[in-house]
Homo-oligomer: A and B are copies of this chain.
Amino acid sequence: MSTIDEFPFMEDIKVNFGKRVKQLRVSNGYSQEKLAEISDLDRTYIPSIEAGRRNFSLEIINKLPKAFEIEMHQLFE
């Protein structure tokens, strides 16, 4: 069986996912408010996502690729 370090992205998925969202947001030049607006998410979600504080669901996560005009899998690369 493989070990967790072979899948570094999954060490703390919430934290790593948050870092990725922040990276995408900043590279798109969006504020957190702007990203919340274009992804149709509550304004408070974006800081929570980026800080890796909350364990969001598939349907919430699924609102982000469209805002960044990327495919879902690119959110996890």
Contacts and interface: CB of A to CB of B under 8 A. Distances in A.
Interface of A: 2, 4, 7, 9-10, 13-14, 17, 55-59, 61-62, 65-66, 69, 71-77
Task: Give this chain's copy count.
Answer: 2
Nearest to A38: B1
A58 B13 contact: yes
By secondary structure, the A interface counts as: helix
A65 B55 CA distance: 17
Nearest to A72: B76
11 contacts: A7-B65, A7-B66, A7-B72, A13-B58, A14-B59, A55-B59, A57-B58, A58-B61, A73-B74, A73-B75, A75-B76
